[in-house]
């Protein structure tokens, strides 16, 4: 039987096994509008029951040997490898991914599982000095129940990168995927871990609307909330978690800059810029949203980027060889087009693209912008590359930092000059002679300013910090003498 056979999960949610749902939602292919399956939706009441069960199951899971927890994560990675083609198909059809992006995402997910398999045996504490005749230790303990709220754009990896480390470190998880990618961002994770031998009750898949999102934050058993998504929603979740004295790890939006320095190879720079802006239709938090080009290269770079944009085919990635697939839904497609047309109306020049093509949008290049135009100021989440010039390194740094976000920056050109610029900019990630879209399972991932609350993903240090609590433990050879 296929891993993702809808006979197993159709019209159900996952909570101590697959349960019949009281509400349903069609799983829709954005490229065609075709219904692929029917997913079950959870309710706020379902979340309450799942959270109580998760708290119960978590205690036994945390007491499971590190080797056993590691084995489950390793097996999950093996299963993703074995069923890669099946999972890729769902990413193509449900999330609108082109085939290469889907394959890349599955490989990231495999790497995440294998990387997290090392967490159970990773050192999780330190020996402290003490003025008294005792041993003093600080050890990391599982936080308990973790809620993971994941987005639609890279649904598998952006859910798994919180689910996998949380489980590896002995937590139970409530997973709420985006309703538009319930299968590739939820069912895949639940089925892989179910088949990998994760005990019942440790992971709960709870698709649903905003009431379910609020419930997975407010459930009293939940101690940590890991959210990836838009900055406005992240702010609301952060406020909600703060009121309840829960930790919220927020990976939010970005309007990322690619700086092309004087003397850079224009051909290679334009290729990097096109990849950064157009991969997965620009629907990535790390997408290159601002191209900041030295004035000596501005005209040549813009022409090269526009030529690349014009050559990228748009269409249905399940049925055609295309570079850009559909935008996730019509509302977002119209938003992207509205930002472009508003900017052109304000005086920007369209060098390429600017057209809706079926359910997709042509790769677009905008020039002649000012920094107050919507295409420059806003996170577009579409395949749009706004280009602006600079003359000095100080001006480049000012333009990069003049943004509410601070997630990822790429700098192309002379390494020494790039290093000087990197020291002047505010960003969670800086990539020299690479574009802005970069992610590896062992590398810290996070942003500053309106891009989130810092690196809470990637690598043992970030994961241990994110999904455990510190406990101070002392041990004496005998009961101490006290003055009472």
pLDDT tens track for 65-100: 999 999 999 999 999 999 999 999 999 999 999 999
* Residue 476: predicted pLDDT: 95
pTM: 0.96
Query: pLDDT tens for residues 361-407?
Result: 999 999 999 999 999 999 999 999 999 999 999 999 999 999 999 99
Domains of the chain with CATH codes? 6-252+452-473 (3.40.605.10), 256-432 (3.40.309.10)
Residue 35: pLDDT band (50, 70, 90) is very high
Q: How far is CA 145 from CA 20, 42, 93, 176, 224, in A?
A: 23, 18, 32, 13, 7
Query: pLDDT tens for residues 161-187?
Result: 999 999 999 999 999 999 999 999 999
Tokens in use for 34? 């075709």
Active site residues: 251, 285
Tokens in use for 109? 């997910």
Query: pLDDT tens for residues 452-469?
Result: 998 778 889 999 999 999
* Residue 454: predicted pLDDT: 85
CA 282 to chain centre: 14
440 sits in which H/E element? none
Query: pLDDT tens for residues 267-304?
Result: 999 999 999 999 999 999 999 999 999 999 999 999 99
Give me the mean pLDDT over the 30-34 stretch: 97
CB 174 within 8 A of CB 144: no
* Residue 1: predicted pLDDT: 65
Determine the Cα angle at 241 with ends 235 and 243, to 5°. 105
Whole-number average pLDDT of the chain? 97
Burial 174-201 (b: 16+ CB within 10 A, else e): bbbbbbbbbbbbbbbbbbbbbebebeeb
* Residue 180: predicted pLDDT: 97
Other C-beta atoms lying within 10 Å of the C-beta of residue 12: 21
Residue with tokens 């994110």: 466
d(CA 56, CA 49): 11
């Amino acid at each position: 039987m296929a891993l993702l056979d809808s006979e197993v999960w159709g019209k159900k949610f996952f909570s101590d096994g697959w349960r019949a749902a009281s509400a349903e939602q069609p799983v829709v292919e954005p490229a065609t509008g075709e219904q692929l399956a029917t997913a079950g939706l959870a309710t706020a009441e379902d979340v309450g029951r799942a959270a109580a069960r998760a708290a119960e199951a978590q205690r036994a899971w945390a007491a499971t040997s590190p080797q056993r927890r590691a084995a489950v994560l390793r097996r999950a990675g093996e299963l993703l490898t074995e069923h890669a083609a099946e999972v890729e198909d769902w990413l193509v059809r449900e999330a609108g991914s082109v085939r290469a992006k889907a394959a890349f995402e599955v490989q990231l997910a495999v790497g995440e599982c294998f990387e997290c398999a090392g967490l159970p045996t990773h050192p999780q504490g330190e020996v402290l000095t003490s003025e008294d005749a005792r041993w003093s230790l600080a050890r990391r303990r599982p936080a308990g129940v973790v809620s993971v709220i994941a987005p639609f754009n890279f649904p598998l990896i952006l859910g798994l990168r919180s689910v996998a480390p949380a489980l590896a470190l002995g937590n139970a998880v409530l997973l709420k995927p985006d309703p538009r990618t319930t299968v590739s961002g939820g069912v895949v994770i639940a089925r892989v871990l179910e088949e990998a031998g994760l005990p019942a009750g440790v992971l709960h898949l709870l698709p649903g609307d905003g009431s379910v999102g609020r419930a997975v934050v407010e459930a009293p058993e939940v101690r940590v909330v890991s959210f990836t998504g838009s900055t406005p929603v992240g702010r609301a979740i952060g406020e909600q978690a703060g009121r309840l004295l829960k930790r919220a790890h927020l990976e939010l939006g970005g309007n990322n800059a690619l700086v092309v320095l004087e003397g850079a190879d224009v051909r290679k720079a334009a290729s990097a810029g096109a990849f950064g802006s157009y991969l997965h239709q620009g629907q990535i938090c790390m997408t290159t949203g601002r191209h900041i080009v030295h004035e000596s290269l501005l005209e040549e770079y813009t022409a090269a980027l526009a030529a690349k944009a014009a050559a990228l085919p748009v269409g249905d990635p399940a049925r055609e060889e295309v570079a850009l697939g559909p935008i996730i839904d019509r509302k977002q497609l119209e938003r992207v087009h509205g930002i472009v047309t508003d900017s052109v109306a304000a005086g920007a020049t369209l060098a390429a693209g600017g057209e809706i093509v079926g359910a997709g949008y042509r790769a677009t290049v905008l020039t002649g912008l000012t920094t107050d135009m919507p295409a420059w100021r806003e996170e577009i989440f579409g395949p749009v590359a706004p280009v602006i010039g600079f003359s000095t390194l100080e001006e480049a740094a000012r333009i990069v930092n003049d943004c509410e976000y601070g997630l990822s920056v790429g700098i192309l050109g002379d390494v020494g000059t790039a290093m000087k610029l990197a020291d002047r900019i505010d960003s969670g990630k800086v990539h020299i002679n690479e574009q802005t879209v970069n992610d590896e399972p062992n590398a810290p991932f996070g942003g500053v300013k309106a891009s989130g609350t810092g690196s809470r993903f990637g690598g043992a240090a970030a994961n241990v910090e994110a999904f455990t609590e510190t406990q101070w433990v002392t041990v004496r050879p005998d009961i101490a003498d006290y003055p009472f």
